[in-house]
Amino acid sequence: MRWPIIALILTTACTQEANHLGNPLMLPISGVGTVIGNAAYEKRRGQVELIVKSNYEVIKTDIRAGGGPVLTKAMDAAGIPERDRPARIIQLQSDMGLYQTSPGALVTALMVYGV
């Protein structure tokens, strides 16, 4: 009697149909991966937030100047690839009004640009 149930589970796991849950047999593994990924993201975000909030006026000056050591440190912590940084600095400059009074918005922008 167990054989049909086992066959059903194995064939369901191999289907080509869209399934928002993915392979049900992989749920414990994907759950662990999600927890690890979230923890890594939160650690990185915490580092960026510490840099931005500790040096808020200096980092705004760095953005206006087109770069600087504090902005570089924040971009390193956020994981922004070096090849993308010139474009990201231009974006930060053009959105400077959003960051004038909100360090949290700047942290969010840096994290969005990171990989």
pLDDT digits (tens, 9 = 90+) for 37-95: 678 889 999 999 999 999 999 999 999 999 999 999 999 999 999 999 999 999 999 99
Whose CA is closest to 53, among 92, 108, 16?
108
C-alpha to C-alpha distance for 49 and 104, rounded to whole angstroms: 8
Residues with Cβ within 8 Å of residue 41, at least 6 apart in sequence: 111
Question: Between residues 69 and 14, which one has the greater pLDDT?
Answer: 69
What is the pTM (predicted TM-score) of this model?
0.69
